[in-house]
């Protein structure tokens, strides 16, 4: 069964665009891979959910988007990359952080990240990637992305992200939405949208009540005639492989490879995104050097 997916929709005759995602399995997978504490699961999960939806905004088949948060809090940072098919991978710098709940009684994601910067890196196959950078507003991620969309992309947006962690630290609910107002939107539509947003409960509350992304879309855009364009599966997926790692290893050059052979007799490479280890034994390293010297 397709558990995690994103619906892409328009409303108000195309003057509003919307993405609504359910991502419980994706975030659960990330939690298991990185063995994150609840507040870190929430930070990573919110970022992954946003990246999945932002991946769908990319135009080219090989385009990639990376969301990077760096802060002075105990988690230090988050890195999440998504492709245009909403395949998402991510990691955090410090997976185990314990903090008291915040004033609202919620996991303190903002405190976990601290103050710092949000960077959006779009690799669109050009020489230089696009990089948009804004200071963190709250570190709660949704507000930070709202600020980014407005200041760096000049697109007024509403971003909601939520991860509900169960008592046994597994992921109970995870999801989010991004609503963007296009320049063609009329004042009346914007007023309706603002009114709806003030009426609806939080994304995790709606999900925990059993609402699907389709139902959440209808609630958020009630009276604005939402039309679903498509439904796209999304998942945690790391595209690393022995071949790719080997290529990276070869690219360091003969001299460095020889140094590794002499000093370490092996090379162990680690993928930050999925925690896989790739071991290259002495003979394999010697073969690489041989191929390079040919
Ligand atoms: Zn990997």
The per-residue pLDDT for range 46-56, each reduced to its tens digit, is 999 999 999 99
Residue 73 CA to ligand 1 centre (angstroms): 26
Residue 28 CA to ligand 1 centre (angstroms): 16
With a pLDDT cut of 70, the percent of the chain lying above it is: 99
Whether 1 shows a pLDDT value over 70: the answer reads: no
Mean pLDDT for 211-239 is 97
Residue 277 CA to ligand 1 centre (angstroms): 9
Assess whether 40 and 180 both reside in one domain.
yes
Residue 238 CA to ligand 1 centre (angstroms): 5
Mean pLDDT for 215-219 is 97
Assess whether 197 and 271 both reside in one domain.
no
Residues with CB under 5 A from ligand 1 (ion): 238, 240, 271, 273-274
Assess whether 172 and 30 both reside in one domain.
yes
Among 207, 236, 265, the domain-final residue is 236
Assess whether 226 and 248 both reside in one domain.
no
Assess whether 21 and 165 both reside in one domain.
yes
Mean pLDDT for 2-21 is 95
Assess whether 39 and 108 both reside in one domain.
yes
pLDDT of residue 21: 98
pLDDT tens digits for range 24-75:
999 999 999 999 999 999 999 999 999 999 999 999 999 999 999 999 999 9
Assess whether 226 and 278 both reside in one domain.
no
Residue 91 CA to ligand 1 centre (angstroms): 10
pLDDT of residue 140: 96
Residue 224 CA to ligand 1 centre (angstroms): 42
Residue 292 CA to ligand 1 centre (angstroms): 26
Assess whether 80 and 197 both reside in one domain.
yes
pLDDT of residue 2: 60
Q: What CATH number is associated with residue 59?
A: 3.55.30.10
Assess whether 71 and 173 both reside in one domain.
yes
Residue 250 CA to ligand 1 centre (angstroms): 18
pLDDT of residue 125: 85
Assess whether 129 and 154 both reside in one domain.
yes
Mean pLDDT for 245-254 is 90
- Three-class SS string for the chain? CCCCEEEEEEECCCCEEEEEEECHHHHHHHHHHHCCCHHHHHHHHHHHHHHHHHHCCCCCCCCEEEEEEEECCCCCEEEEEEECCCEEEEEECCCCCCCCCCCCCCCCHHHHHCCEEEEEEEECCCCCCEEEEEECCCCCCHHHHHHHHHHHHCCCEEEEEEEEECCCCCEEEEEEEEEEECCCCCHHHHHHHHHHHHHCCCHHHHHHCCCCHHHHHHHHCCCCCCEEEEEEECEECCCCCHHHHHHHHHCCCHHHHHHHHHHCCEEEEECCCCCCEEEEEHHHHHHHHHHHHC
Q: What CATH number is associated with residue 252?
A: 3.90.1280.10
Confidence at 261, pLDDT banded by 50, 70, 90: very high
Assess whether 261 and 228 both reside in one domain.
no
pLDDT of residue 243: 92
Residue 90 CA to ligand 1 centre (angstroms): 9
Mean pLDDT, the chain, rounded, equals 95
Whether 293 shows a pLDDT value over 90: the answer reads: no
pLDDT of residue 28: 97
Domain count, the chain: 2
What range defines the domain where residue 279 resides?
242-293
pLDDT tens digits for range 168-188:
999 999 999 999 999 999 999
Mean pLDDT for 209-228 is 97
Residue 240 CA to ligand 1 centre (angstroms): 4
Residue 127 CA to ligand 1 centre (angstroms): 24
Assess whether 50 and 141 both reside in one domain.
yes
């Amino acid at each position: 069964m397709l558990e995690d997916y994103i619906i892409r929709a328009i409303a108000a005759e195309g003057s509003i665009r919307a993405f609504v995602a359910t991502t419980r399995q994706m975030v659960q997978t990330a939690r298991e891979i990185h063995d994150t504490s609840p507040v870190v699961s929430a930070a990573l999960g919110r970022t992954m959910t946003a990246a999945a939806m932002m991946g769908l905004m990319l135009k080219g088949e090989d385009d990639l988007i990376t969301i990077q948060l760096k802060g002075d809090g105990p988690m230090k940072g988050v890195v999440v990359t998504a492709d245009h098919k909403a395949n998402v991978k991510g990691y955090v710098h410090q997976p185990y952080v314990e903090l008291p709940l915040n004033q609202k009684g919620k996991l303190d994601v903002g405190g976990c990240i601290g103050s710092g910067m949000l960077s959006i890196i779009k690799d669109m196959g050009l020489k230089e990637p696009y990089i948009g950078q804004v200071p963190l507003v709250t570190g709660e991620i949704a507000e930070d992305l709202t600020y980014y969309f407005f200041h760096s992309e000049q697109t007024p947006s509403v971003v909601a992200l939520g991860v509900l962690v169960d008592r046994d630290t597994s992921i109970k609910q995870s999801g989010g939405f991004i609503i963007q107002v296009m320049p063609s939107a009329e004042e009346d539509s914007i007023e309706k949208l603002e009114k709806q947003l003030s009426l609806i409960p939080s994304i995790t509350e709606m999900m925990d009540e059993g609402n699907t992304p389709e139902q959440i879309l209808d609630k958020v855009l009630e009276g604005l005639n939402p039309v679903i364009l498509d439904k796209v599966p999304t998942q945690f997926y790391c595209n690393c492989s022995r071949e790719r790692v080997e290529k990276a290893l070869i690219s360091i050059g003969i001299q460095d490879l020889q140094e590794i052979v002499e000093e370490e007799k092996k090379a162990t490479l680690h993928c930050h995104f999925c925690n896989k280890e790739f071991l290259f034994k002495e003979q394999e390293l010697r073969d690489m050097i041989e191929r390079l010297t040919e």
